[in-house]
Amino acid sequence: MATPQLTKSSIKGCFGDILIDVRASQYLTPMPAVLIAPGFKGFKDWGMFPLFAERVARAGLTAISFNVSGSGVDDEGRFAHPERFGHNTFSAELEDYRAILTALDRGALGVPTPSSVGAVGHSRGGGLATLLAASTDRIGALVTWAAISRVGRWSPETRQAWRDRGRHDVVNTRTGEVLPLYLDTLDDLEAHADRLDIEAAARRIAIPWLIVHGEADETVPVAEANVLKEASRGAETLLVAGAGHTFGSTHPFQTMTEATDLVFGATVSFLSRHLD
């Protein structure tokens, strides 16, 4: 297999540009493609994601990594657009995912229309990838890493304080930056509860699905993987003993852990089996 090449694209999203990295070893022949979705406060260049995208491309698949338009993150990995982050919603992210899929199918990302498409999503990205897979027949295989099983992540007390103040602050523990979340998120959750029901979406998914979760996940409890598994139509599961939310990966990336290598290998193998 030839060495993968990286090209960059951008398309219009709900709040501005969606920044897209394409890694492929073949830019002339249609190949299976894989959407790689980071989680909340995550971005395409965080820690393990570039290395994973490289491994996907070396396996003969086209890797599509991206920052949604409401991520607030620029191409250097900086939270350069905090207002976009503040107004972002689950529904807007899902619309951005669909825009990426449409651009990919139109050949607008520098590679031919893929023969098939898979999706890999981490944490919040895993929940959204589940919603996407349940809403289109274009996704042929799904892998979720440490995925959330519900979008309502905040207690009633936090929600009330959020509404009273008009914003809820979250801290980027890596940089110490305080990032706002405005009322858009709460309004979206309440207005589109049915459309954003991840557990209900899981019941509709009939494609091959691999659920990966660290047994020591400190952010999204492994119980949420069990919810998705029970709702699914027979999804495969990989529970990683001793692994936390990012399977030992950090940003900046430092070293390949046994857990990260296991997750990468299992994911690429699963996708290679089910995409053609």
- Give the pLDDT confidence of 210-253 residue by residue, as tens digits: 999 999 999 999 999 999 999 999 999 999 999 999 999 999 99
* CA–CA distances in Å: residue 79 to residues 17, 35, 186: 14, 22, 22
Average pLDDT over residues 57-67: 97
172 pLDDT band, cuts 50/70/90, is: confident
Tell if the pTM clears 0.95, that is, is over it.
Answer: yes
**189: Cα within 13 Å, side-chain hemisphere:** 14
What average pLDDT does range 185-204 have in this prediction?
97
- Cβ contacts of 230 within 8 Å, gap of 6 or more: none
How many percent of the chain have pLDDT more than 90? 96
Cα radius of gyration (the chain): 18
DSSP state of 77: S
Kindly report, residue by residue over 119-164, the tens digit of the pLDDT: 999 999 999 999 999 999 999 999 999 999 999 999 999 999 999 9
